[in-house]
Amino acid sequence: MTATTTSARSELSELGRSETALRTFLHGLPGVDQVGAEQRAAQLGTRSIKTTAKAQAIDLAIRMVDLTTLEGADTPGKVRALAAKALRPDPADPSCPHVGAVCVYPAMVPYVAEVLRGSGVHLASVATAFPSGQAPLEIKLADTRAAVAAGADEIDMVINRGAFLAGRYKEVYDEIVATKEASGDAHLKVILETGELATYDNVRRASWLAMLAGGDFIKTSTGKVPITATLPVTLVMLEAVRDFREATGRQVGVKPAGGIKTTKDAIKYLVLVNETVGTDWLDPDWFRFGASSLLNDLLMQRTKLTTGTYSGPDYFTLD
Amino acid sequence: MSERVAVRKTYKLFIGGKFPRSESGRSYLVQSSNVSLASRKDARDAVVAARAAVKGWAGATAYNRGQILYRAAEMLEGRRAQFVALGVPGDEVDAAVDRWVWYAGWADKLAQVYGGANPVAGPYFNISAPEPTGVIAVVAPERPALLGLVSVIAPAIVTGNTVVVAASPSEPLAAVTLAEVLATSDLPGGVVNILTGAITETVPALAAHMDVNAIDLTGVIDTALATDLEVKAAENLKRVLRPASADHDWFADPGLARMTALLETKTVWHPKGV
């Protein structure tokens, strides 16, 4: 550890103290070359991954899935079924790995916790007035504490986009810090809702803001607005976590969520991770997919590779 | 003034209402033209397109399906000269148009003939109605290329099924041109998907595919291949139509058998009165 990184580190940790320091730092980040980012993401999307590499990628992607249901119509029975699927995605094949986590609303956490206890599958809960985040801070923190108390070991919080877009970075920062404190030992995933941030520059600033405030993961979207995860946005976020680790030594995970429906999409993301931040992030502890229908496609492709015949949606559970 | 350079046509596949090249990028020379050589993955893509189209097509009213089929017959008639130029005899084109119109007429009549009220000894009605089977894989007869193709596609789709057809490998031009007819006749994309190329490459994948509900082996000549395909089809209990006999007369009255073979029967019980 050199003297410069130590001093850089303490400088970064001081940023949260004043609105001006935060603004100066975030607006001092280099701008994103929009055309370049989109071109780079598109180019990496053309890689062809076949046979054994594909089989490996599929198993890794299954382990990275945060199997999600965030509907008003969720019932205890439905989330229990989903948790059972998380443990054994393909009941016909014991060699199929379990998924990374199950992600539900706080009210559904106790039912999922019963099923997942001791299995190694994490239990994530959205909190802080998901998906809009438009609630008073005390309510957001109470929401978070309730989810943790019910058994969630990962909290997916939403940032206050209203404050972020209005330029009140300190307010956003303080909310993340407070939520991190309220989550205790639970991992904190910070949802940036990139579909509402409008520009890649904002995505980069929000990523840094979330990491400076102590987020363990940065996540693209809630899945509740029309624009969800895209490859270029994920590229910008991956570059941010890479640069953040260089500056501070702390590694932060990335979770694209929403709109990732096919095995091909998932493999494109894995290629992007490998080429941008390297194999350190190719692990369920550092990269996750927020998805629901993706799992069935991964399972169908997995079945195709093991049996040689194309499978159909009739043979996997609908969720 | 330079001389005009002729625009030569590449005959492509017909999947989901679009005309893509083969995913493999391959083509083969047949009937002095370049025709796409479909791969296993094209077959898979075609099944995905056919499955996506089932809901809309099976859910359309029988009357509407009949109208769309009739429209296809009109378009086919309008392209008569083009088919003749491809080497299809004029009387075969006429027979294909007539065949198409004949099946179109059956769209809203088959339920009366094939379904109906069942007599029961109780205070309720009991009604049986035909329902489409779903996604059908079809091996079109080698010859006659146009009439044979129409005679296997029309009876499958008129009742609400969607099809993935392996066209005649030796005379595929009529099939691709028929696809152009269908693409301009209000038929929703994905209801008919046509693959050109080697049957031995695409059809085994279709026969084994778990998301295909029935397979029509009409055009399979090789008996060993037919047996192999039936074995593959047994995995998910597909309905199987056996290969046609070598001397089958495609100009003869086809009867209802091809339509009814690809139907399920739904029976409902309904209480009577108060």
Domain of residue B244, CATH code: 3.40.605.10
| CB within 8 Å of A133: residues ≥ 6 apart | A140, A157, A158, A159, A160, A161, A162
How does pLDDT run across A23-73, given as a tens digit for each residue?
A: 999 999 999 999 999 999 999 999 999 999 999 999 999 999 999 999 999
The angle at the Cα of B110, spanning B106 to B112, to the nearest 5 degrees, equals 130
Chain A hits for B44, Cβ within 8 Å: 310
A264 is catalytic: no
Q: Which residue has the higher pLDDT, A6 or A281?
A: A281
How does pLDDT run across B232-259, given as a tens digit for each residue?
A: 999 999 999 999 888 899 999 999 999 9
**Predicted local distance difference test score (pLDDT) of residue A2:** 46
Domain assignment of residue B157, yes or no: yes
Q: Identify the band that residue B97 occupies on the pLDDT scale cut at 50, 70 and 90.
A: very high
Q: Identify the band that residue A319 occupies on the pLDDT scale cut at 50, 70 and 90.
A: low
A14 inside 8 A of chain B by CB: no
How does pLDDT run across B49-94, given as a tens digit for each residue?
A: 999 999 999 999 999 999 999 999 999 999 999 999 999 999 999 9
Domain assignment of residue B4, yes or no: no
CA-based nearest residue to A244, from A212, A290, A287, A288: A212
- Across the range A153-180, mean pLDDT stands at 95
- Across the range B183-199, mean pLDDT stands at 96
Contact (Cβ atoms closer than 8 angstroms) between residue B211 and residue A315 = no
**pLDDT beyond 70 at A82:** yes
CA distance B212 to B202: 13
Q: Which residue matches tokens 């699927």?
A: A85
B44 inside 8 A of chain A by CB: yes
Q: Which of A130-134, A282-286, B149-153, B177-181 has the lowest mean pLDDT?
A: A130-134
**pLDDT beyond 50 at B145:** yes
**Predicted local distance difference test score (pLDDT) of residue A106:** 95
Q: Is the dihedral of CA A199, A203, A205, A206 positive or negative?
A: positive
| Nearest residue in chain B measured CA to CA from A311 | B210
Tell if the CB–CB gap between A311 and B211 is shorter than 8 Å.
yes
The H or E element containing residue A131 is none
Best of A296, A304, A305, A310 to mutate (most B CBs within 10 Å, chain B) = A310
Q: Which residue matches tokens 């997995």?
A: A302
A310 inside 8 A of chain B by CB: yes
How does pLDDT run across A98-115, given as a tens digit for each residue?
A: 999 999 999 999 999 999
A91 inside 8 A of chain B by CB: no
**Predicted local distance difference test score (pLDDT) of residue A16:** 83
- Domain A3-307, what architecture? Alpha-Beta Barrel (3.20)
Eight-state DSSP code of residue B78: H
Tell if the CB–CB gap between B44 and A310 is shorter than 8 Å.
yes
Dihedrals phi, psi of B102, to nearest 5 degrees: -60, -45
Residues 92-121 of B with CB under 8 A from A: none
Residue range(s) defining the domain that contains residue B14: 10-271
Distance of residue A312 Cα from the nearest chain B Cα, in angstroms: 4
A314 inside 8 A of chain B by CB: yes
A308 inside 8 A of chain B by CB: yes
**Predicted local distance difference test score (pLDDT) of residue A318:** 74
At B114, list the tokens: 């094939």
B209 inside 8 A of chain A by CB: yes
- Across the range B224-238, mean pLDDT stands at 96
Q: Is the dihedral of CA B220, B225, B226, B231 positive or negative?
A: negative
CA distance B172 to B149: 10
Domain assignment of residue B3, yes or no: no
Distance of residue A311 Cα from the nearest chain B Cα, in angstroms: 5
B52 inside 8 A of chain A by CB: no
The angle at the Cα of A140, spanning A137 to A146, to the nearest 5 degrees, equals 140
Point out the residue among B205, B211, B232 whose CB comes nearest to the CB of A312: B211
Chain A hits for B211, Cβ within 8 Å: 310-314
Q: Could you give the residue ranges of the DSSP H alpha helices within B79-166? A: 80-85, 90-106, 110-114, 145-157
**pLDDT beyond 50 at A1:** no
**Predicted local distance difference test score (pLDDT) of residue A218:** 96
**Predicted local distance difference test score (pLDDT) of residue A13:** 79
Q: Identify the band that residue B272 occupies on the pLDDT scale cut at 50, 70 and 90.
A: confident
Measured between alpha carbons, how far is residue A130 from residues A52, A169, B135, B172 in Å?
39, 19, 41, 56
**Predicted local distance difference test score (pLDDT) of residue A301:** 94
**Predicted local distance difference test score (pLDDT) of residue A264:** 94
What ipTM, to 2 d.p.? Answer: 0.81
CA distance A237 to A243: 10
**Predicted local distance difference test score (pLDDT) of residue B9:** 87
**Predicted local distance difference test score (pLDDT) of residue B119:** 93
Tell if the CB–CB gap between B205 and A312 is shorter than 8 Å.
no
A306 inside 8 A of chain B by CB: no
Distance of residue A90 Cα from the nearest chain B Cα, in angstroms: 16
Pairs of CB atoms within 8 A across A/B: 26
**Predicted local distance difference test score (pLDDT) of residue A3:** 47
Best of B133, B210, B215 to mutate (most A CBs within 10 Å, chain A) = B210
The H or E element containing residue B27 is strand B27-30
Residue B170, exposed/middle/buried by CB under 10 A (0-12, 13-18, 19+)?
Answer: exposed
CA distance B209 to B21: 22
Task: Find residue A45's DSSP bridge partners.
Answer: none
A140 is catalytic: no
| Residue A96 CB coordination number (10 Å) | 19
Measured between alpha carbons, how far is residue B36 from residues A231, B180, B190 in Å?
32, 15, 18
A219 is catalytic: yes
Tell if the CB–CB gap between A312 and B235 is shorter than 8 Å.
no
CA distance A219 to A217: 6
CA distance A200 to A227: 13
Domain boundaries, chain A: 3-307
Percentage of chain B exceeding pLDDT 70: 99
Where in chain A does DSSP place strands (E)? 65-68, 101-104, 122-126, 154-158, 187-191, 217-219, 253-255, 289-291
Domain assignment of residue B120, yes or no: yes
**Predicted local distance difference test score (pLDDT) of residue B246:** 84
How many domains in chain B?
1
Predicted TM-score (pTM) above 0.90: no
Domain assignment of residue B2, yes or no: no
Q: Identify the band that residue A14 occupies on the pLDDT scale cut at 50, 70 and 90.
A: confident
